[in-house]
Copies of this chain bind each other. A is one copy, B any other.
Amino acid sequence: MQWMLTEVGVLTQRPSKPGPKQLADGWVRLKVHYCGICRTDAKMWHQGHRDLMLPRVPGHEIVAVDAADRPVVLWPGTACGTCRYCRAERENLCDHMQIMGFHFDGGFSHDLIAPAASLIPIPAAMPPHLACLAEPVGCVLNALEQIRLRPTERLLIVGGGTLGLIAALAAQDLKAKPIVIERRPEKIHKASPFLKCAQLTCLPAPPREPFDAAINACPDPAALQQAITLLVRGGRCAFFSGLAPTPPLGNSEINLLHYKELTVIGAYGLTRRHMAAALALIGRYPAELNLLVESILPPETLPELLPQVLAGGAFKYILDYTGRHGC
């Protein structure tokens, strides 16, 4: 079975159609084992997305097995391999980029076809469901690379959801000094087992001392504004989460970029290299990251999970296509 988004707001369950009998060159057939639910999946269900082409099977945080039963994660794209971006190892910006779950069908399905070039093997020792985090972790690694985060630097992370907490773990792994800011006490409370296990700090309001670098890890425009305001002169901010339409950033806040010679760098998606690095990071912190798995549930539960994911209070929901995990 698979979930098809036929129009914004309308998910339909139907039999899986894993592509034509004869696949195009370089494409392979896979069995999905797990697929994480991203907030972007919930957003495209709720309001659409600039890169979404309907009808579409969403899902891009996929753990699957190939014909030889080898577990893999999927870099969620196809790239031409020859454009200026591909040649510069920035294939997430490829001139002909097609995103899995956006432009072609993704992982909310028992079966799947995908470019063989997108398969990245999962280390044998890793609990396979955890590998669903390779995509979000890789997106975070892209953002930290864009701002060239260095050891000992103070990193401000605005937003204490799954992505903000992953960013803190990844920054600490780089020997930087991350601090997560989360204004909702219930989210700090929810994060506390992870924070304790990873020895990380999440505060309801930022300390006074400014930060060398920052990342906005929630769509509230106030998060980006706070990041800009709290940076040292010459500081760098990863623009990681797209902004909600309102409220608009004020021009006087934007002018701080000018006056403080700040650098704001967009980070959108990830490359294969980031995804492989993400698997390595997950391998170093399986216990910590497992605390960011909200629940592993049967595929049928997707429609009831999407509103929760959209509301933002939960960690990572993972759909189980193996039948191993009950409701």
How does the 8 Å CB contact mask read for A257-291 relative to B, with 1 for contact and 0 for none?
11111111111100000000000000000000000
Q: Does A234 contact B (CB under 8 A)?
A: yes
Q: Is the CB of B251 within 8 A of A243?
A: yes
Nearest-neighbor residue (CB-CB) of A97 within chain B: B233
Q: Is the CB of A257 within 8 A of B249?
A: no
Main secondary structure of the interface of A (DSSP, over half): mixed
Q: Is the CB of A239 within 8 A of B251?
A: no
Given known contacts A239-B257, A257-B239, A266-B261, A244 and B234 CB-to-CB distance under 8 angstroms: no
Q: Does A245 contact B (CB under 8 A)?
A: yes
B242, B252, B263: the one contacting A258 at CB < 8 Å is B242
Taken together as a complex, chains A and B put the C-alpha atoms of A246 and B257 apart, in Å, by 17
Which B residues touch A221, using CB under 8 A? 251
Q: Is the CB of A255 within 8 A of B233?
A: no
Nearest-neighbor residue (CB-CB) of A243 within chain B: B251
Given known contacts A221-B251, A234-B90, A248-B251, A261 and B146 CB-to-CB distance under 8 angstroms: yes
Q: Does A21 contact B (CB under 8 A)?
A: no
Copy count, this protein chain: 2
Taken together as a complex, chains A and B put the C-alpha atoms of A249 and B248 apart, in Å, by 7
Interface residues of A in 61-117 (CB under 8 A from B): 85, 90, 92-93
Interface size class of A (residues with CB under 8 A): 35 or more
Q: Does A250 contact B (CB under 8 A)?
A: yes
Q: Is the CB of B260 within 8 A of A263?
A: no
Distance to closest chain B CB from A54 (angstroms): 19
Nearest-neighbor residue (CB-CB) of A247 within chain B: B251
Q: Is the CB of A261 within 8 A of B251?
A: no
Taken together as a complex, chains A and B put the C-alpha atoms of A241 and B255 apart, in Å, by 9
Q: Does A240 contact B (CB under 8 A)?
A: yes
Which B residues touch A249, using CB under 8 A? 248-249, 251, 254
Q: Is the CB of A246 within 8 A of B239?
A: no
Which B residues touch A244, using CB under 8 A? 251
Which B residues touch A245, using CB under 8 A? 251-252
Which B residues touch A250, using CB under 8 A? 248
Taken together as a complex, chains A and B put the C-alpha atoms of A221 and B90 apart, in Å, by 30
- Shortest 8 CB-CB contacts between residues of A and residues of B: A93-B233, A257-B266, A261-B266, A243-B251, A258-B266, A248-B248, A263-B265, A264-B264
Given A240-B258, A245-B251, 8 more pairs with CB closer than 8 A = A50-B259, A85-B234, A90-B234, A245-B252, A249-B251, A257-B264, A259-B268, A261-B266
